[in-house]
Amino acid sequence: MAIEEGKDPVPVTRTRGISVRLLLVFLMFLVLCVLFSFISLSTFRRFSFDSVAGVVKPSLEPCIGESSGLDQWIRPPSNLMHTMSDEELFWRATLVPKIRKYPFDRNPKIAFMFLSKGPLPLAPLWERYFKGHEGRFSIYVHSLPSYNEEFPPTSVFYKKHIPSKVAEWGRMSMCDAERRLLANALLDFSNEWFILLSESCIPIYNFSTTVNYITGSKYSFLGAFDDTGPYGRGRYNESMAPEVNLSDWRKGSQWFEIDRRLAINIVEDTIYHPKFEAFCRPHCYVDEHYFPTMLTIRAPNLLANRSITWVDWSRGGSHPATFGKGDITVEFFKKVRESKTCEYNGRNTTLCFLFARKFAPSSLEPLLQLAPKVLGL
């Protein structure tokens, strides 16, 4: 009777028709359940638990559509242009394994992170720098969101742009862009060192020298010094205490090289970020103080307290010198490379800088000409 009523194209009342259909579905479900428990019980009796799992697993795989091995957890993202918000990205980037030893063959890489406004005019020089070292580095580019990348598929910069936002000099948005670069680079488990560069930076040694210097150092290269003058401690605001005290206040250039631990420290920070955002506003230039101060509090023993990016402030003013076509000579490179002595793992050395800024687009031609002789590129 019930079945006939259910088939009826014009049921007397709607609710009744539905409840009868529901009952039918429920009955069929019940029958299936009994059948299934019977089958699984008899299977369970025949195999041990492990072998049941072994039998069931492969049959599920095609439905899920992904591998069940470890590689799904360690494979770097294939598309850097993800749709995660910063909040989601930072959370994802700070998932850290508690076991130190990697259960797979890890090939540690250096992440080169370019913070630029738009194009990378010195890209041809960098292409030469990276040539032949595939698999030892990763590249990430953060530019103004309105800028569309223009690199051919043969370029090392092809599809290396990450989702970006406007970043203003001296403002928290600049530090946020740097954190965004770090967070994206952290998604690749093989990135162990992270270098921040700008579109006006050039390498001043070849790739192998850079790798040996960075991987052999006990410390990360981040400028951090205690400037007691008005442009240093003078920018500290007492409202930042007790999280940030005057004695911890540091200043340094934003162009850093840090290792994975420090990168995670920066991306996970929710203690110092609000303090700097609220109390370090122009004329306190937050990108000169936030990371140096925060890392001096969190991990002072991991810092070399100096930058490996050379810059020339000797011309005075609030901006460093920019070098163009006429400046690029063999003597210029000799001067830059031997401009200073510093400590490397506790020993004095004249090899203090691996990169230099600022270079105008017009310097590209002479740089490419001198590169084989001076840079070995």
Ligand X SMILES: *[C@@H]1O[C@H](CO)[C@@H](O)[C@H](O)[C@H]1NC(C)=O
What gap in Å lies between CA 357 and CA 203, rounded to an integer? 9
C-alpha–C-alpha distance, residues 63 and 41, integer Å = 24
- Residues contacting ligand X: total by CB under 6 A: 24
Nearer to ligand X, 184 or 296 (CB): 296
* Nearest CB to ligand X, comparing residues 180 and 275: 275
- Please, what sign has the CA dihedral across residues 313, 317, 319, 325? negative
- Residue 206 Cβ vs ligand X, minimum distance, rounded to whole Å: 4
Q: What is the smallest separation between the CB atom of 165 and ligand X, expressed in angstroms?
A: 24
- Cβ-based nearer residue to ligand X, 180 or 250: 250
Q: Answer yes or no: are the C-beta atoms of 259 and 220 closer than 8 Å.
A: yes
User: Where are the alpha helices (H) located in the chain, listed in sequence order?
Assistant: 2-7, 14-46, 49-64, 71-74, 86-93, 123-130, 172-186, 207-215, 260-268, 272-279, 290-298, 330-337, 364-370
CB of 246 to ligand X, least distance (A): 9
Angle between helices 260-268 and 290-298 (to 10 degrees): 110
Residues in contact with ligand X, shown as a per-residue x/- string from 295 to 324 under the rule CB under 6 A: -xx--xx-xxx-------------------
Binders of ligand X among 27-66, rule CB under 6 A? none
**Listed ranges 182-190, 252-260, 316-324, 340-348: which one lies at the site for ligand X (CB under 6 A):** 340-348
Nearest approach, Cβ of residue 292 and ligand X (Å): 9
List binders of ligand X among 188-247 (CB under 6 A).
205-206, 208-209, 219, 237, 239, 241-243, 245
Tokens at 347, concatenated? 């020993």
Nearer to ligand X, 13 or 348 (CB): 348
Burial 47-67 (b: 16+ CB within 10 A, else e): eeeeeeeeeeeeeeeeeeeee
Footprint on residues 91-110 left by ligand X (CB under 6 A): none
Does residue 159 have a cis peptide bond before it, meaning omega lies within 30 degrees of 0?
A: no
Instruction: Say whether residue 372 binds ligand X (CB under 6 A).
Output: no
Give residues in contact with ligand X (CB under 6 A): 205-206, 208-209, 219, 237, 239, 241-243, 245, 248, 279, 296-297, 300-301, 303-305, 341, 347-348, 376
